[in-house]
């Protein structure tokens, strides 16, 4: 069974052909429950997200700020397993026919087994993985199995990345490049800043692969700002916060749907 890297490529290309950036939502699996997480992800896609990153909760989430850490802790305390992550990917993709990636640290994959993980993700209809802590020079085994199973390998670049390093990273990746807009952990920010635009410019000089910006975007105005210069706008903490702040799970799901609709207007310049 082959994964859906082509669907991801086609989705990003379709957004570009419409003269806009793609909207990419992040939500962790198993939060607030497995079923609740699936409902929230479907709501994000129904609301206007083009792509979803399903977070695989981890006990040491070095890239993630307090909002996502809180959600991860809830999921892990609920007994989340990798099988639940695969179920989340499968049900979200089957319900929406949109590309679903997994965002995960390397340790859970390493322990689970690279071949097993990639085969199961492809079978579930997944489009690929974002691997924020896997160094490119140590990624050959992963990329071999990801390529075999039709999965994208998305690496993260940061404002501190030198041009030569950017070229090395983008040559190894596929699907899109995840450009972290600033140094630090995930979370909403008052401003995304000029660093992001400079990073996108430098990254594009090394690759034709789409460059999508994450870390800090939380509202339609910021989404519109980033959409001016990036191929995709990635939003995570703002979605998770809607769930955390809601009085109940149903209200949280509706909050996610409403935020996705608002952000979708932002990337389309329809505010």
Residues catalogued as catalytic: 53, 64
Angle (CA) 139 196 28, round 5°: 55
> How far apart (Å, rounded) are the C-alpha atoms in residues 235 and 213?
9
Query: Rounded to 5 degrees, what are φ and ψ at 81?
Result: -120, 165
Answer for the pair 101, 175: CB distance below 8 angstroms, yes or no. Answer: yes
User: Exposed/middle/buried for 210, CB within 10 Å: 0-12, 13-18, 19+?
Assistant: buried
Which of 32, 96, 102 shows the shortest CA–CA distance to 70? 32
Angle (CA) 89 16 184, round 5°: 60
Using DSSP's 3-state secondary structure scheme, residue 268 falls into coil
> How far apart (Å, rounded) are the C-alpha atoms in residues 271 and 263?
9
> How far apart (Å, rounded) are the C-alpha atoms in residues 271 and 262?
8
Neighbour count for residue 31 (Cβ, 10 Å): 26
């Amino acid at each position: 069974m082959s994964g859906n890297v082509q669907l991801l490529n086609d989705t990003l290309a379709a957004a570009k052909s419409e003269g806009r950036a793609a909207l990419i939502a992040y939500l962790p699996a198993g939060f607030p429950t497995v079923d609740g997480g699936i409902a929230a992800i479907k709501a994000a896609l129904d609301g206007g997200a083009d792509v979803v990153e399903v977070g695989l909760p981890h006990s040491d989430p070095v890239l993630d700020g307090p909002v996502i850490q809180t959600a991860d802790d809830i999921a892990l305390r609920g007994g989340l397993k990798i099988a639940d992550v695969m179920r989340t990917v499968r049900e979200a993709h089957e319900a929406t026919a949109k590309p679903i990636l997994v965002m995960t640290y390397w340790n859970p994959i390493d322990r689970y087994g690279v071949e097993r993980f990639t085969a199961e993700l492809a079978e579930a209809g997944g489009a690929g993985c974002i691997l924020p802590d896997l160094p490119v020079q140590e990624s050959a085994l992963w990329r071999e199995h990801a390529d075999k199973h039709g999965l994208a390998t998305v690496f993260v670049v940061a404002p501190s990345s030198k041009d030569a390093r950017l070229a090395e990273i983008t040559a190894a990746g596929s699907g899109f490049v995840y450009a972290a807009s600033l140094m630090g952990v995930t979370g909403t920010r008052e401003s995304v800043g000029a660093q992001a635009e400079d990073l996108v410019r430098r990254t594009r000089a090394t690759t034709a692969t789409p460059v999508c910006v994450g870390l800090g975007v939380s509202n339609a105005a910021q989404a519109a700002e980033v959409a001016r210069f990036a191929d995709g706008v990635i939003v995570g903490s703002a979605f998770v916060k809607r769930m955390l702040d809601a009085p109940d799970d149903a209200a949280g799901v509706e909050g996610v749907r409403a935020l996705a609709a608002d952000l979708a207007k932002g990337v389309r310049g329809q505010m």
